[in-house]
Amino acid sequence: MRNPSDAGQVVLPGMPRRLLRASPTSLSDFSDCPRRYRFANVDRPLPPRGPRFAHHSVGTALHQVLAQWYDLPVERRTAGAARQLLYAAWSPVGFRDDEQSDRWRARAAGWLTDYVAELDPTVEPRARERTVSTTTERMTLSGRVDRIDERGEELVVVDYKTGRMPSTDDEARGSQALALYVLAVRRTLRRPCSRVELHHLPSGTVAGFDHTEKSLANHARRAEDVAIDIQAATEAVTAGQDPDEAFPVVPGRQCGWCDFRPACPAGQAAEPAREPWSFLAEEDDLPA
């Protein structure tokens, strides 16, 4: 294990603390399971990862298509063009067989057709797949936003969702990642931004929330608390503590889909191995 350059430092009195480099994903990893954070951010070389899941292939292709669709000239931004892009972007990795992959590609093409039909192709987003960053007392935080819309003077953070269940306004309100993106969009693009939206492609629904300064401050404070815990764990290792104790495992259902399961005996014991296609919502599971 190595110590990352942004933590594990010796802090002398009066010496400014080096900021932790973090992302919404790394903070969420640590909150869910400190060992997963360590695998992804501290250990080098990276521990072996498990096989790619089919539902990740679906999500990756759809995100890619929706970013590329806006690269097309306005007159070519059609549902047909979106489907063509999907065919080029599609990966069969993780599916049981060609039949399942083809069936899901057709299903994803249907979602795209419906979603794109609701978009005005002449309206340019402010950004797509844009990395934004900000600095807090404890960390430099960066992450990539799926889409940033312009609505009047305001910018809106848009996140595409491709899971089985439609998103809810409560989910939009409670998402630490989206709140941190708002702060990072403000800082990076120097424009007002308060609204976050979850666009659920399978159902064509949009969930949203308009953040207040208070709700953003609450999210930022909780993120800072996680950063403090990460720095404490990293410094403990530097001071000689067993890394397995400083970054304990938190076994649970998430071990079934954790990327680092092959490197984690506790995770293997907690949950049986799942087939790479087992997290796809088949017809019977999808909401009406």
Q: Decide if residue 125 touches ligand SF4 (CB under 6 A).
A: no
Please report whether residue 30 would count as binding ligand SF4 according to CB under 6 A.
Answer: no
Note whether 156 binds ligand SF4 by CB under 6 A.
no
Identify which of residues 214 and 253 has a Cβ nearer to ligand SF4 in the complex. 253
- Residue 255 is a binding residue for ligand SF4 (CB under 6 A): yes
Contacting range for ligand SF4; rule: CB under 6 A; set: 175-183, 186-194, 209-217, 257-265: 257-265
Interacting span for ligand SF4 (CB under 6 A) from 90-98, 123-131, 215-223, 262-270: 262-270
Q: Which amino acid is at 111?
A: W
> Taking CB under 6 A as the rule, does residue 260 contact ligand SF4?
yes
200 makes contact with ligand SF4 (CB under 6 A): no
35 belongs to the binding site for ligand SF4 (CB under 6 A): yes
- Answer for which of 196, 230, 258, 280 binds ligand SF4 (CB under 6 A) is 258
- Does 33 bind ligand SF4 (CB under 6 A)? Our answer is yes
Task: Tell me which residues touch ligand SF4 (CB under 6 A).
Answer: 33, 35-36, 39, 249-251, 254-255, 258, 260-261, 264, 266-267
